[in-house]
Every structure is written in structure tokens, then in C-alpha cells.
Amino acid sequence: MTRSRILAPLMAAVALVGVALATVRGAGCDDPGYLAPVDGGYELVGGCVAAGDLLVSEPPAGDPAQTADAERG
């Protein structure tokens, strides 16, 4: 019984590593890209992500300071 308590988590970890490796190999991205410094931050150059792949929500309307004051009452 002690041996199974030791082997079960180890086998689960090995299985998870196998799944992770299969996922990475199946990603299909030959050019991972790199981060290049630009004014005030970094920009992703290359890679397999296009601008249309990213979902960006619209910023809330109004000044954030005024919105916080209004919520406080």
C-alpha cells in the first residue's frame, strides 16, 4: 500500500508532463517571436499571434478618478 501511495502521484506527474509536451509540439508555431523594446514598453515581433486573435475590451467611459468617487457615494 505504501508503494502505491508513492507511485500514484509520480505516474500522474509523468502523464501531465507528457500531455504538456504533446500540447507544445502540436501548437504549430515555427516562429515564437521576440519582445523588442519600444518607447514606453515592449512590442511582440513575429510569432504566431495576429492582432485579430486578441480580444481587447473597450475602456470604461469617463475619468477613472471620477468613476471611483461616484462609486463611493
Identity of the residue numbered 34: Y
Q: What φ, ψ does residue 36 adopt, rounded to 5°?
A: -110, 135
Give domain limits for the chain. Answer: 2-59
pLDDT in tens, 10-67: 999 999 999 999 888 877 777 878 899 999 899 888 888 777 787 888 877 776 666 5
- Please give the model's pTM, rounded to 2 decimal places: 0.41
Q: What length is written for the chain?
A: 73
Give the gyration radius of the chain's Cα atoms: 23
Cell output for 32: 515564437
